[in-house]
Amino acid sequence: MNNKNVSRNNVFFVYLHLKLFLEGFLSEIDLIQQIANGDKRAFRELYDLHSAKVYNIALSYSQDVSDAEEITQDVFTSIFKYASKFKSESKVSTWIYRITVNTALNYQKKKKRARFFSLTDSEYEKPDFNHPGTILEYQEQNQLLFKAINTLPESQKSAFILSYIEENPRQDVADIMDTSLKAVESLLHRAKANLRKELEKYYPNRRIVK
């Protein structure tokens, strides 16, 4: 009798989760459709749902607060502009984070080009990045981590940021990067190996805490 109740409860919970998931999925698609019709209230709702994640991804790529804000602005302007072109083949969040990754990478390329052509900034070296979400205890570790992340190739950087900093499930990372799960795992493996190599260089100059 007890077993029957437990299994009935399990079925109910699975049903409830599935219902909530589908409701969430459908309501986000509705929001996109409303935005495509120029509805600013729906746009605000979507912004409230995703702006923090978009901003944090942008922050990890740009390692600069004002650049991250600019990237966030560009991402949401693109969402408003291209909402009518959204195809329901992927999740709304996947679409948004894909736009974020592409915008952040393009922004970095644009900045690099500008630096290359400007004579005054030719010997520019980026200062160590203090992530605003850092806990004081991990400040130095986070600074070194971001410095090392900056040396990674684009795809490894994306896989690492989306998996380890943003803590997305691997399948979601694969969907955002428009690649396979296997490819993401291989990118993460290589990213970690390259990070280790880079961090080894900083080891002799480490701060020894007694």
Residues near another protein, by CB under 8 A: 40, 44, 47, 51-52, 55-56, 59, 68-69, 72-73, 76-77, 80-81, 131-135, 137-138, 141-142, 144-145, 148, 164-165, 167, 192, 195-196, 199-200, 203, 206
Cβ distance 71 to 103 under 8 Å? Answer: yes
Nearer to another protein, 7 or 74 (CB): 74
C-beta of 11: minimal distance to another protein in Å?
Answer: 34
CB 48 to another protein: min, Å: 9
Nearer to another protein, 119 or 136 (CB): 136
Q: Which is nearer to another protein, 25 or 164 (CB)?
A: 164
Residue type for position 37: N
What Å distances lie between residue 23 and 26, 87, 138, 166, CA to CA? 5, 18, 39, 24
- Closer of 127 and 132 to another protein (Cβ): 132
Q: Calculate the alpha carbon distances from 62 to 112, 142, 150 in Å.
A: 11, 15, 9
Write down the least CB distance from residue 58 to another protein, Å: 9
Nearest approach, Cβ of residue 122 and another protein (Å): 31
Give the largest CA-CA distance in the chain. Answer: 80
Residue (6 or 193) nearer to another protein, CB: 193
Smallest gap from residue 46 Cβ to another protein (A): 11
Closest CA to 198 of 186, 190, 187: 190
- How many alpha carbons fall within 13 Å on the CB side of residue 36? 12
Report yes or no: 93 and 193 within 8 Å, Cβ to Cβ: no
Q: How far is the CB of 73 from another protein (least distance, A)?
A: 5
* Cβ-based nearer residue to another protein, 83 or 177: 83
Nearest CA among 102, 100, 84 for reference residue 50: 100
